[in-house]
A and B are shown apart, each in its own frame.
Chain A
Amino acid sequence: MSFINPFIGMFWDITPIIATIFIFQLLILKQKIPNVEKVLFGLLMVWVGLTFFMLGLEKALFPLGRLMAEQLTSLEFLGKEKLFWFDYYWVYLFAACIGFATTIAEPSLLAVAMKAHQVSGGSVKPWPLRIAVALGVAIGISLGSYRIVVGVPLHYFILTGYLIVIIQTYFAPKQIIALAYDTGGVTTSTVTVPLVAALGLGLASTIEGRNPLIDGFGLIAFASLFAIMSVLAYVQLKHLINK
């Protein structure tokens, strides 16, 4: 029974998009769906795949994120009692590595990088852009972990970041702006989000004086923001060099 229930739950989660597609295609456009067997088979795969994926998240990614947070902040590992923010340097390093590694491998970022190459008429090269964004996200998640360790309110950082993005926008070449803004939403993939969220929640529950409710979230916001800032910064730098 415990194996059936998640399937039923996931069925309701994919109903709205399936209903949208079928209703609009059949009732509004009044067209048949081409290759309807293939489409139905695809939807079946989506349903089964989503269910397994969610089960896997509960079993692997969430526990792993939490475990890493617990082990990296345990007094036993750190080896002392009185801790300052810089004593958690392994946490910052781990956060940076996860940010860099997942971003550099992110397929949607590759797609964005290719588009940027096209839009800029070839002056923005895909590989340096990907490295720039991966470094940006690494710094972002690392800074986000620092915020959890010291407990500064999240919006101080994010709103400052917005201000920086606005200033960068003013100087950025016009045709790249929309693409740069999109990168923020694109870089944090389905696999990265749960792991990074679990890391944040884990840090907030193990570090003394932090509350998961207030300090636990926010790492993903850092990742999105720093992705936007690094695209704009890279393009700006490129522009200055070419001048």
Chain B
Amino acid sequence: MAVVEEIRPTTDALLKTKAPKRPANMGQFLRWFFLFLGGIAMVMPIAFMISTSLKWPHEVYNLRLIPEEPTIENYTYVLEDGRFYWWFVNSIIIALITTVCNVIFDSLVGYTLCKFKFPGRYIVFIAILSTLMIPTEMLVIPWYLMSQQFGWLDTYWGIMFPGLMTAFGTFLMKQFFETVPDDFIEAARIDGLNELQIWWTVAMPLVKPALAALAIFVFLGNWTAFIWPLIVTNSVEMYTLPVGLSSFGDEADVQWELIMTGAAISTIPTLIVFLIFQRFIIRGVVMAGLKG
């Protein structure tokens, strides 16, 4: 008797939960289906860019995603010309140097504002914070005049100087240095390390994930930067990839397979980096987005 009574409610409960389970699974399938369709739609522009860059001119205007006779002719043509090669090298150099500078200086300033007590700290903090409100577009005219005056037009330095330090990076790093215990720094001081050594050998290794997040953001930002390089460069050899692609697109006019090749050349490197470090980059984006 007792056994039966114990079983009955459980079977009831089982039946109850089982009944609505089928629609729930159906719902889950629909959810997956629509998200999948949406995801495919999201990458379609990228897929068509790459597929068209592998097509012969006569095939360009059909709707096939997979080229009938794939060719790398467009790539050899575009690269033989040499300009994309320079632009690629320019973009790499500029993005790398800017990234290294940001990683060093933003973290140094963030660390100082976080771990030192000194007169003027609050003023420096507020001053740097306030630069977040100033849009780049407001500064390009004075930067241009400055570059003209000092002969920085059309040089790497001219392209790079506005972005060597950023307030965003400084605050990101400051937030993360808050998580480094003061005891570690105190212990290092007792061990006789000077402040520069403490920052570099004790504090910096503890915020490596944040440094990586910052590096990703700065690199991507400079790799895709357009308006300032467009203004500051005049000669074709000094263009960065986006500026070069923009001028190339105008010149190639209706040869869309060549334009797609150029677009692919400037997009594929970041896509590959993303596919390799996917988890890492997404975590970095969340960190930068929520803390910065």
A interacts with B: no
